[in-house]
Chain A
């Protein structure tokens, strides 16, 4: 018998390991190093959407692609302006035809006129006679595509093979076959493009509030493999205006809400507002991180769209609408074009995305190929245009409408508008050590007790507290939370259960924070939990450029659910009643699973059922939740108070608090990080928000070398007095407005007047000189609460 040498055995073993690893690597098709750094993401769905990305090291910045402007002849423009002026804004009585549109149906409030040729509609509000048009009669410029676009009620975009350019088919281009039939209170149109072999049904229904447009997905026909639907615009020109010849504004739900005035912009802006409803989709769109500044991201992310609404208000003939995307919101993008961006018109529209193309990297560095999304996103389109007229034709009217809508549709149950001081505590963090990572305890459990009871003893009675970073390894080191293991460094003579119990005796609610979205792969190494992969089968990295961890990953939605389900039992076993969920409450993405492409709506389904079960078992708070989760949360945490400050925005409005104040407790973002704290304080008074602080016992200088190094101010000693002052003032204002909704909101320069349903007015002066409002003198940077009774 031949003896086998030890050496040979070792060689064989090493060979098998290397070969095996290589094969595994190939098959899994994904590795940390395999991240895409390719600089060329094609501009696909939208000419404005320049997702250029750049390699970190590169100094040069690529030229900014500007959408091509449609050439306009000055004379032609003059003519058009005149023509537009001649269009009737107010029509006193019912007509047979308006502007080639035949009378179609009517109800108590509205009349609907239809032009079958292009599905263009005109809506007349009966009591005021104001009309709103949905297409342009005589379009401008020589560009045929855009001419057809502005004349069509519905526009479809389609993809040809894997071509990254999208083509348009509307009511004129590509010769559609249209069959319009009358329904009980509207019409239904079957549209079919014989050349593309694509078809769908559009139905428009006149309701008591306005109109509702439906495009159900089972009516969609796609028979040619070459042509695939990319997206649909629904009445993109409804309520459009030309340059500055009308008065009013477009409302975009950016952060707290923002207005774009319908004045002439002198061609200042070349790009439109364009954002996905419920935040950008990281599963397919390459994120916007470009030119780093010394290894840091120098930009703040824009605010996400939290509620699927948009609006257009014409203040000259007092008509406007609030568009509510009822179905298809998870695949919708909102676009608002100020005049000068491509066309001389102001228009706002949702765009529903069925398919996108994406970059598929084929090698570690450069090679990419463009791939078309295989399956159509799964959704019906349903947009509800809720019209407002007369004295309601302003953004306050839109907010009231939305509030009523939420309540009527049972999307939101009215909650008690309680006043609380929100004190968030940061428990532990980790920093790099010589050999192991060191835990940095910032607020231990007994310190937390000390701080909260001290605040209470000093007079702030109502406290709600969220404890972040309580888990083993702290806030970032311990993600995801997979079992109930509080960080031992925090238990100095008091356990977390003990803390909750004792605080309960003091009537202070302590919520444990749980980020259900992120996973720290560096800490976990390997894990049985899956991470989210983008459509191109690459793991999505959330770059945070932290001092300890450079990036995090997202959990696969199913893994989130699995972890959260075990945690549900653990929390119940530990008799925890108050939970705050973060991450999944304001993030949605598409992802791939093997070869399957999974849509955002399926992520939403995973999350929603999960949050439902938590909502049933606990007192649940959600971090800056999207509108579809508003009913599950006990309060709205981190409500944005501002917009993202886009160049084309003329005014910020507190749309969200105008809608929700009085029917739910609203909490502001942290006071700590506001550079202008006095102004921020006034904003909280104005919007009826409860104050929020992030507090630590230790000095945040200790966080310098942790991933939380962005927290530069949080020590309790610093905020001790400020908390009490804020509490006293805000509580006093709240006492007068408690449970009452906002009915009027007036702003004149730096002076604001907010009127509540119970007759209380809050007057604010942001100016640096005193101002008089309604006969009340308001000191600079101050406010006054007056009751009109």
Chain B
């Protein structure tokens, strides 16, 4: 008994010794942690990862400019010690295990641990891929492929390397924009290029292609897609690659065919490394020190870290070059400038999110509901949890709750589906009432029409009013109804019969403005592009009236020098009255958009197209009729007007800049004078 006690005491003290290496409680983190909300904006959340430890050396072996790092299944850390030309292996407590490759390696920049326990190393200077056993014996090496398919002038400067289950080596070579080089490890055969980056085609490039000579085109840099920066492969054999550059997809998850199957809303501009975690979560490290964690579908869970610009606090980086995850979900982040590895461990909150996510991804929606709710209780602004919760409710056919959750998550598709179900239920329950109401309404309208026809109440009232009062304004306002059936006659009346007035047009302009605002802010959630809580009324107002003034004004000015006959007042009235279909149908569309789902989205699209086309045709006719142009002339005038608008905007911009400059100049002179005198 005594012996046991002694033994256990000894064990305890060993444990104590063991744990005393770690710091006691994490302090206030230097960085904030953000997550993505349903709109793809960043919102602050609880700290997800805290720094557990920092490794600056393995025993006495320092590393320099290390550019890659992987963590093996055995928990050992493999570092491509770029500056010292070797591979360094150590454990997470900073103990040195071994180093190898000193003889062959000059500048190892990439490293990969394959499924069959081999270490693949990409050496930039030697332009070779070296293959070692885990213990460091050199097994094989691969140089530049001599296949014709590789391309005569293609570069082979391997930076990063990865190997899949079928022993295909994927190599990123500097300056080789053909794609990721694929070599079979068993035969050494060049298999081809895999998933090259594509450049997005902008209007500018199309324009350039049209007018540039071949020589000029070949000198254009941005026509060549950038090579990927880093690569990784998960257990399923999916290839992940990250690329820097403005017009490429920053993070790609590639299937066997080389197609990207990942959709991310937010991504860093300078991703440097990618790693796949236990839940197929994708970790992306950016050069400027941020670490992103995405779900396997590309939703951002957390982003944290940042650039150390003299803050001197733990958890920040100078230049982050590699990231790795171990079995315990700890993150290892390698700082190439500082030559150190910071180890992060997930907090209680991050663990909770991961637990829910695991259940959710396994399709166990029922079980994931509880954890998701707990996540929301800890963080009511964590939209991804609402999404998970919504899916769970949806699967349970609790559509009301699902609808609420999807609304919180700002998840349009889910909301639409849930709403469809909710509406369906409602329709089923209220179908009869609805039909009766519609029939009742139709009958009412018919009856009123019959009454009017028989007794002419309205006409009589109208006649009475117009004899008693001067009703010009009201008549003018009401005159717009003729636009629907007889647009040409209406224009004629406006121009020659003094129908319509500046005041009535102003009235309709105001209505147009109100409708514009209503459409922007009160369209149904599914079809709205403005985010909740974002209002920019002043800007909208300025923009609206500015554009109206610019269009009407420009058009009028252009017509006056092109023998147009329209007076400004008439053109103005004509323009506004041309919006008659908009006034008539838009209110219904705004209302109805609140009750439609994506299934009926085409209805809305169709209605809108009809309205806008109709308005466009009316404006065209207006310009033609009022100025007595031919169709050809009308088109010319329209193009001239557009050109004039462009010039006017430029002109206003230039004048603004000049005024500001002059203003600043005077202020500077004055201030400097004052301070010189004061501080003589």
Interface residues of A (CB under 8 A from B): 25-26, 29, 34, 50, 52, 59, 61-62, 64-65, 162, 255, 258, 266, 268-269, 271, 273, 288, 290-291, 293-294, 296-300, 302-303, 360-365, 367, 369, 371-372, 374, 431-435, 547, 595, 640, 642-649, 651-652, 673-679, 682-683, 699-701, 704-705, 709-710, 712-713, 715, 718, 747-752, 766-767, 769, 771-772
Contact = CB atoms under 8 A, between A and B. Distances in A.
A675 B47 contact: yes
A595 B47 CA distance: 45
Given A362-B672, A363-B664, A712-B380, A645 B313 contact: yes
Given A297-B32, A303-B28, A772 B668 contact: no
Contacts of A271: 310, 312
A64 B310 contact: yes
A495 B48 CA distance: 41
B58 to A, nearest CB: 13
B314 A647 contact: yes
B220 interface: no
B312 A749 contact: no
Nearest to A650: B23
Contacts, number: 226
Contacts of A651: 23-24
Nearest to B676: A369
A293 to B, nearest CB: 7
Contacts of B313: 302, 644-647
A298 B31 contact: yes
Nearest to B21: A749
Contacts of A364: 664, 667-668
Contacts of A371: 675, 679
Contact of A29 (B535, B664, B671): B671
A701 B29 contact: no
A290 B664 CA distance: 25
Contacts of A303: 28
A62 B41 CA distance: 27
Contact of B381 (A299, A682, A709): A709
Contact of B348 (A273, A673, A677): A677
A769 B20 CA distance: 13
B365 interface: no
Contacts of A362: 668, 671-672, 675
B668 A432 contact: no
B16 A645 contact: no
A673 B348 CA distance: 12
B16 A748 contact: yes
B306 interface: yes
Contact of A369 (B25, B269, B675): B675
Given A296-B34, A712-B378, 11 more contacts: A61-B288, A61-B309, A296-B42, A296-B44, A298-B32, A298-B306, A363-B665, A364-B667, A643-B27, A701-B380, A705-B533
9 contacts: A64-B308, A290-B309, A296-B42, A298-B290, A595-B678, A675-B350, A712-B379, A718-B377, A766-B24
Which of A699, A701, A715 is most buried by chain B, counting CB atoms within 10 A of its CB?
Answer: A701
B35 to A, nearest CB: 9
A752 B25 CA distance: 11
Interface centre among B51, B350, B671 (most CB of A within 10 A): B671
Contact of A363 (B45, B309, B380, B671): B671
A645 B20 contact: no
B348 A712 contact: no
B264 interface: no
Contact of A771 (B12, B48, B306): B12
B55 to A, nearest CB: 11
A713 to B, nearest CB: 5
A115 B26 CA distance: 45
Interface of B: 9, 12, 15-17, 19-32, 34, 37, 41-48, 50-51, 54, 56-57, 269, 288, 290, 306-315, 318, 347-350, 377-382, 408, 517, 521, 532-535, 537, 664-668, 670-672, 674-675, 678-679
B382 A294 contact: no
A676 B52 CA distance: 13
Contacts of A767: 15, 19
Nearest to A54: B309
B670 A643 contact: no
Contact of A434 (B20, B347, B349, B537): B537
Contacts of B26: 642, 645, 676, 679
B671 A432 contact: no
A293 B306 contact: yes
B667 A434 contact: no
A287 B612 CA distance: 52
Contacts of B288: 61, 291
Given A675-B47, A771-B12, A50 B348 contact: no
B20 A749 contact: yes
Contacts of A718: 377-378
B290 A293 contact: yes
A65 B668 CA distance: 30
Contacts of B679: 162, 371-372, 374
B428 to A, nearest CB: 31
B533 A293 contact: no
Given A371-B679, A673-B46, A771 B672 contact: no
Nearest to A361: B671
Contacts of A299: 30-32, 306, 311
Max count, chain B CB within 10 A of own CB: residue among A50, A643, A767: A767
B43 A675 contact: no
A321 B421 CA distance: 73
Nearest to B60: A266
B312 A52 contact: no
Contacts of B377: 713, 715, 718
A374, A704, A769: which has the most chain B beta carbons within 10 Å?
A704
B31 A300 contact: yes
B24 A652 contact: yes
A712 B45 contact: yes
A676 B380 contact: no
A677 B347 CA distance: 9
Given A64-B318, A291-B307, A700-B380, A750 B24 contact: yes
Contacts of B19: 749-750, 767, 769
A674 B26 CA distance: 11
B48 A710 contact: no
Contact of A50 (B9, B42, B310): B310
A65 B44 CA distance: 30
Contacts of A700: 380-381
- Most chain A C-beta atoms within 10 Å of own C-beta, residue among B19, B43, B672: B19
Nearest to B8: A772
Nearest to A640: B28
A712 B664 contact: no
Nearest to B37: A704
Nearest to B33: A675
A268 B56 contact: yes
B598 to A, nearest CB: 25
A266 B339 CA distance: 13
B533 A547 contact: yes
Given A362-B668, A700-B380, A288 B311 contact: yes
Contacts of A65: 310
A772 B310 contact: no
B348 to A, nearest CB: 5
Given A300-B32, A675-B48, A750-B19, A293 B42 contact: yes
B93 to A, nearest CB: 14
Nearest to B674: A29
A433 B42 CA distance: 21
Contacts of B16: 748-749, 751, 771
A645 B44 contact: no
Contact of B15 (A52, A433, A645, A769): A769
B12 A772 contact: yes
Contacts of B378: 712-713, 718
A363 B306 contact: no
A649 B30 CA distance: 13
Contacts of A367: 668, 672
